Amino acid sequence: MGDKKKILVVEDEEILLAALQEELNQGGYETLGAGDGEEGLKKVKEFKPDLILLDLVMPKMDGMTTLKHLKDDTASRDIPVVILTNLSDYERISEALSLGAKDYLVKANYSLNDLMDKVKSVIARGSQAPTS
């Protein structure tokens, strides 16, 4: 149990959150879900995840603001973040990437393999020093 990698999923859509968590659990990861950015930031501190899946459009605190907070805090700065997005809005994706997100996953057409590949490779890279 102890060597399981931990993933925090921040997503306001309940059903999607449940699906992602279950898929990751079945893939051998330990997960925790959060319904918005505020809750996500709180849970980062307790859960100390190895990876954060972060939705962009959320109530209370959106993903972009959450990402800024994460990168401003030395405790969470080095945790790799993968953006979950539904928008075919490349400006937002590139903004998130420039803010330090490692990768992104388009929710509408992700497959289980996509999810696992991304998570695996980002966690592997996460152990290296951040690039920017």
Residue with tokens 């990768």: 103
Residue 71 lies near another protein (rule: CB under 8 A):
no
**Which of helix, strand or coil describes residue 62?**
coil
Q: Does the footprint of another protein cover residue 20 (CB under 8 A)?
A: yes
Angle at 118 between CA 114 and CA 122, to 5 degrees: 175
- Least distance (Å) between residue 22 CB and another protein: 5
42 contacts another protein (rule: CB under 8 A): no
The answer to whether residues 82 and 101 touch, using CB atoms and an 8 Å cutoff, is yes
Q: Which residues bind another protein (CB under 8 A)?
A: 12-20, 22-23, 26, 35-36, 57-60, 62, 86-89, 107-108, 110, 112
